[in-house]
Structure 1
Amino acid sequence: MPSRDPETLFVPPATAEVVPLPDGGAFHLLADAVDTGGALGANRLVLGAGATGAGPHHHALSSEMFYVLAGTAEFVLDGTPVTAPAGSTVVIAPGTIHAFGAAPDAPVDLLIVLTPGIDRFEYFRRLGRIRHGDEDFDSLLPDQQRFDVHFAAPTA
């Protein structure tokens, strides 16, 4: 169980909630806004080779930072493709439409930090159910404001 007090958060490796994804991927839920007084949210995302992490969307309130721990990530940032090998950092400002996933030839392991934090663990749990076919993607549409994930039109 993660250790919490008003000033610190410690999440030992075996205590992070893991939300499995198809193809061996998973969300590792590290810190939600409720855990950090709203300062940030953090998760680790592992994607299988060629897997989509997220389609085009933006965050109205938060900046999002990606650090590529292993593998290669592919981003589209306001329409511009960017390839990010291991060791790369990508910071996305609020309002920037972006999408990302794993390069076609290998899995990717990402550390993702959103600041200020938004309580999004339930969003990741629901994405897990969607990816496994247990919930419909359209069920997220009414909660875009709640999770600060605003989906762009498919042509964006």
Structure 2
Amino acid sequence: MFMRKTGFIQLEKNIAHRLRADVLLEGSGIWRRNRRCNLSLTGFTLLEIMVSTVILALLASGIFSVLVSSRYLVARSKTRVAAVEIARAEIERMRSLVDADTFYTSGLFKATGAWRAWNTTSYPSYRVRYRVDKGAGNAAYRKVTVQVAWNDTTI
């Protein structure tokens, strides 16, 4: 049984060796491959191709996991930056209310002997709560606490 390796690429270095590849053993009538011809064959074995495929798959999966985690971290940082900007905007809005000395309260609750107001404002995907307390010392000072909450949907 003879195996001819032909294809789109030349598998043998020299075509002249292919002509001498099969040699008849003297007196036996059995054909055998010429050793010199087998040594001149080039190409990849199935094992080499499988090993290289496994290595490439491992590298690709590592790169893919890095890309997915970096995308998650970027989305998370964008959400956090948006929350900081919303908190800043609410503080600026409270500053204008402090100047006018008017506070709109949606509900009061008693805590540590003083009434405190928690107001809730909604943004499309953020919940904002703020509290205005009297400042220490000067009556014109106010302490404003802003809380911004959101559902983390980037997972």
**TM beyond 0.5:** no
* TM-score of the aligned structures, taking structure 1 as reference length: 0.23
Greater fraction helix: 2
Larger radius of gyration: 2
* Higher RCO by CA contacts (8 Å cutoff, separation 6 or greater): 1
Greater fraction strand: 1
